[in-house]
Amino acid sequence: MPLWQLFTPENAFTSEEKADLASKITNIYSSDWARENFGFELPRFYTSVVFHEIKADSFYVGGEARDKFVQIEVVHIARTNEGAAALAGITVEEILRRYFEKVNGLLKPYIADRGYEVEFHVETAPFETWQIDGMVPPAPHSVAERRWFEENRSSPYNAEELSNDPRVATV
């Protein structure tokens, strides 16, 4: 899972803009670009995007009300920076450079170009603390994960479907 939470002023985005932004955020992790830059693609349903609209008198930064500020919190759990770097054959610093370059470019028309300030951070949670529909998600690059990717949903899997390629040990 990447879980993106965007804390925005009320009415900062239309419903159409939210849907467009959510789709573009999902593509960071589930696209040819992700595979080429990170060495993996996640099933699209792993990515969740939540918009929290905050009233102008309820958003404070540095003790002062802000009506043109967006706070973005992201939790990564399906892959780690280290694992992605190993899969892509590059350094963690390069993974982060590529990630932030992509994120900043994606967000610019929605945030900076509209005069909003933004703070963005990413947290990584341990894979073993994650479940979907009461199941531990299948190992990265396993047959079961590929099936989840193709079906775009979770479903039970068996031991044979946990076979995978040798890269799994590095993720």
**Mean of all residue pLDDT scores within the chain:** 91
Would you state the pLDDT for residue 83? 82
Q: pTM value?
A: 0.90
Would you state the pLDDT for residue 13? 97
Q: Coil, strand or helix: which one is 126? A: coil
Nearest Cα to Cα of residue 170 among 53, 48, 68, 88: 88
Encode pLDDT of 68-89 as tens digits: 999 999 999 998 888 888 888 8
Q: Residue 166 pLDDT more than 60?
A: no
Among the residues of the chain, which ranges form H helices? Answer: 15-29, 32-38, 81-88, 92-107, 143-151
User: What structural domains and CATH numbers belong to the chain?
Assistant: 2-131 (3.30.429.10)
Would you state the pLDDT for residue 164? 63
- In total, the chain counts a number of residues equal to 171
Of the CA atoms within 13 Å of residue 170, those in its CB half-sphere come to 16
Q: How far apart are CA 65 and CA 56, in angstroms?
A: 7
Encode pLDDT of 26-85 as tens digits: 999 999 999 999 888 999 999 999 999 999 899 999 999 999 999 999 999 998 888 888
Residue 21, both tokens: 């932004």
